Structure 1
Amino acid sequence: MPNLQNAVVVITGASSGIGKATALAFAPTGARLVLAARRPEPLEVTAEACRRQGAEALAVPTDVTDEAAVQALASAAIEAHGRIDVWFNNVGTGVVGPYWEAPLALQKKVVEANLFGTLHGTYAVLPHFLRQRRGVLINMVSMGGWSPTPFAATYAASKYGIRGFTASLRQELTGHPGIHVSAVFPALVDTPGLAHGANYSGRAIDPPGPFLTPEAVAQVVVGLARRPRAEVAVGWPASAARIAYGLAPVLTERGVGAAMRAALRRARPEGRSEGAVAQPVPTGTGTRSGKPVWHARGPSLGGLALGGLGLLAGAELLAGILTRRG
């Protein structure tokens, strides 16, 4: 769909962060937006900001963990516009800390929001795509779908699940050439998401960055609506993580684990919090949280570290090959 004029685009998690930035990125294209999130007031603020850019925007408060609510979201889009052209499963949350320290009910909420939210959205839109014989499904994964995320194990489980689900579904739909399934894998992004996540580490979660901007990720999503691709990394640290774990998983696991443990040891003490995992909170309604972001294509310190892991992984692979040949 090179021309998005009048395209019907559904975006979940649109009250803040990447979802809000994506809605604002689609607005100038002439797309007709159907926006979803748990919080009605911030969601309507996003919709109004899109309308000021000339877009049609319908706000539909939706909890993606509720299958019936997601079905109602799809029905609202069909009732308003008669079809759905693009569906962006964007909702994501997490719990930081040792897995056994956080309540299991909270860990389940992460899987329900991230993985089951994606399953619910896909199940709601696919019948319409099949009837229309076309459509673009875009699933938000993350760099954590390609490499381990120690001290956010349930988040990693959900993201690995979304990646596997998306790749599998893409193959199931090979007989439907007009339907495209894409996955987005960003590196660290400056959104309110870190503050919205639960923290059971006993330490302040404040990565030094620099971060990608949510607007950079949003432009990638708009690009996928125009020209779908299977998997897209955003930020070269994401690609570095994929390469490192693919070449030397044991070394990468140990390196990432050691870095995370060291970061938590250095962080200041902080009380435990459920964040917005179980229930929405009023704070964090913008696209960004104010952390340092990339203003150039140069690598960040985090990217250099991951690139180093990639080089070490390559060295380990080469050593293994030479040992086997010897």
Structure 2
Amino acid sequence: MNRVVVAVGSSSGIGRLVAREFARRGDRLVLAARTAQALEEVRAKCAAEGAEVLVVPTDITVPGALEALAAAALDRFGRIDVWAHTAAVTAYGRFDQLPGRIFDQVVRTDLLAAAEAARVALRHFRSTGKGTLVLTGSVLGHITAPYMSSYVAAKWGLTGLVRALQQELRDAPEIHICLVSPGSVDTRIYQRAANHLGLVGRPPPPIATPERVARAVVECAERPRREVSIGRLNPLMRVGFTCLPGLYDVLVGPLMRRLGLTDEPVAPNDGVVFAPDPSSATVRGDWLPDLGHLVRTAAALPAAVGARLLRRAR
């Protein structure tokens, strides 16, 4: 397709797969995240797919960083057709016990930086008359859960921002803003979260694969939709939150403690909220079995058993 795609948050998780998916479609890529080493790994994978790739290490919370990213993309490729923004961090902790600096940084990363990305992308799209911005929301942009107040506040804000921008763009039919809102996803955002709760978080079931979310992001660039919800229980949770708020509030605390937290203790820490952890620049969080590995193992099993029996026969 030969589009120019700016992919923010492409060093790990969903964003890493988004970059690969665009590369497979023949797009030219501008990859951005905080970790240069991880970006180089993704660049190599995308280049192996035949994509032309520019790597721009970027801390999206630094003033001017996203404008510099857009300028680098325009300098290299001359235009931006798609801006896919998947960067996010989170934190666990009771609101009054979570340090304000962590709360503020989660909101700065997940909401204010996403807003700045939208501002930068839309200015360019307005100048050219077309373009697609894909932002990553969450089911927690429509419902709430205890112990994740900073993330909930940021994602609710992002959902509202996207709706307002979609209304403002009714005069520009070739400019699209899409919101991809997953529920639980098998990534390491839970283990890498800042934590002042004392227990490691986990994604409550049902858990979607990051591949599914990445495909939704890329499909929005090809066939724009206002919002895509990923998660079988997302609609049910939203109905319960809206129509049965009393019952929802009674149940959500015990369910969060049972399904959204592990029994693994953890000391207070900042996670990757302020600085990246290069060792965690992976795709999956190991919350789901690797079905591809299981299939490959099962396929190889008869040959392995046969070889062992043959050796014994000898």
Normalised by the length of structure 2, the TM-score is: 0.88
| Contact 1:43–1:61 (8 Å) recurs in 2 | yes
Local SS of the residue matching 2:143: coil
Asked if residue 157 in structure 1 is aligned to residue 153 in structure 2, the reply is yes
CA RMSD of aligned residues (A): 1.7
Q: Which residue of 2 aligns with 1:116?
A: 112
Q: Could you tell me how far 1:241 is from its partner in structure 2?
A: 2.0
Q: Specify the structure having the higher radius of gyration (Cα).
A: 2
Alpha-carbon separation, structure 1, partners of 2:114 and 2:280: 22
Q: Pick from 37, 42, 47 the counterpart of residue 38 of structure 2.
A: 42
Asked if residue 76 in structure 1 is aligned to residue 72 in structure 2, the reply is yes
| Contact 1:37–1:63 (8 Å) recurs in 2 | yes
Misfit runs of 4+, over 3 Å: 206-210, 261-266
- Aligned pair count? 291
Alpha-carbon separation, structure 2, partners of 1:263 and 1:202: 15
| Contact 1:192–1:284 (8 Å) recurs in 2 | yes
Matches within 5 A, 1:119-198: 119-198=115-194
Alpha-carbon separation, structure 1, partners of 2:204 and 2:141: 21
Q: Pick from 73, 96, 103 the counterpart of residue 100 of structure 1.
A: 96
Alpha-carbon separation, structure 2, partners of 1:264 and 1:237: 15
| Contact 2:202–2:261 (8 Å) recurs in 1 | no
Local SS of the residue matching 1:14: coil
Q: Pick from 192, 197, 203 the counterpart of residue 201 of structure 1.
A: 197
Identity of aligned residues (%): 37
Asked if residue 55 in structure 1 is aligned to residue 59 in structure 2, the reply is no
Q: Which residue of 2 aligns with 1:269?
A: 265
Q: Could you tell me how far 1:13 is from its partner in structure 2?
A: 0.7
Deviations 1:246-284 (A, max 9, x none): 322332233212212345787243222211101112221
Deviations 1:84-113 (A, max 9, x none): 111112111111021121210111010010
Deviates more, 1:158-167 or 1:267-276: 267-276
| Contact 1:203–1:264 (8 Å) recurs in 2 | no
Deviations 1:277-312 (A, max 9, x none): 0111222111112221597xxxxxxxxxxxxxxxxx
Asked if residue 238 in structure 1 is aligned to residue 229 in structure 2, the reply is no
Q: Which residue of 2 aligns with 1:257?
A: 253
Deviations 1:225-262 (A, max 9, x none): 11101111012122222222232233223321221234
What amino acid is aligned across from residue 113 of structure 2 in structure 1? G
What amino acid is aligned across from residue 66 of structure 1 in structure 2? V
Alpha-carbon separation, structure 1, partners of 2:260 and 2:129: 49
Local SS of the residue matching 2:190: helix
Using a 3 Å threshold, how does the CA distance of structure 1 residues 6 and 256 change in structure 2: closer, same or farther? same
Q: Pick from 228, 235, 246 the counterpart of residue 224 of structure 2.
A: 228
Alpha-carbon separation, structure 2, partners of 1:236 and 1:208: 12
Alpha-carbon separation, structure 2, partners of 1:250 and 1:77: 49
What amino acid is aligned across from residue 174 of structure 2 in structure 1? G
Using a 3 Å threshold, how does the CA distance of structure 1 residues 50 and 168 change in structure 2: closer, same or farther? same
What amino acid is aligned across from residue 172 of structure 1 in structure 2? E
What amino acid is aligned across from residue 283 of structure 1 in structure 2? S
Deviates more, 1:9-18 or 1:279-288: 279-288
| Contact 1:136–1:179 (8 Å) recurs in 2 | yes
Q: Pick from 280, 283, 291 the counterpart of residue 287 of structure 2.
A: 291
Q: Give the unaligned 5+ runs of structure 1.
A: 296-326
Using a 3 Å threshold, how does the CA distance of structure 1 residues 150 and 24 change in structure 2: closer, same or farther? same
Normalised by the length of structure 1, the TM-score is: 0.85
Using a 3 Å threshold, how does the CA distance of structure 1 residues 35 and 81 change in structure 2: closer, same or farther? same
Alpha-carbon separation, structure 2, partners of 1:265 and 1:287: 21
What amino acid is aligned across from residue 103 of structure 1 in structure 2? P
Q: Which residue of 2 aligns with 1:14?
A: 10
Using a 3 Å threshold, how does the CA distance of structure 1 residues 240 and 122 change in structure 2: closer, same or farther? same
Using a 3 Å threshold, how does the CA distance of structure 1 residues 203 and 51 change in structure 2: closer, same or farther? same
| Contact 1:93–1:110 (8 Å) recurs in 2 | yes
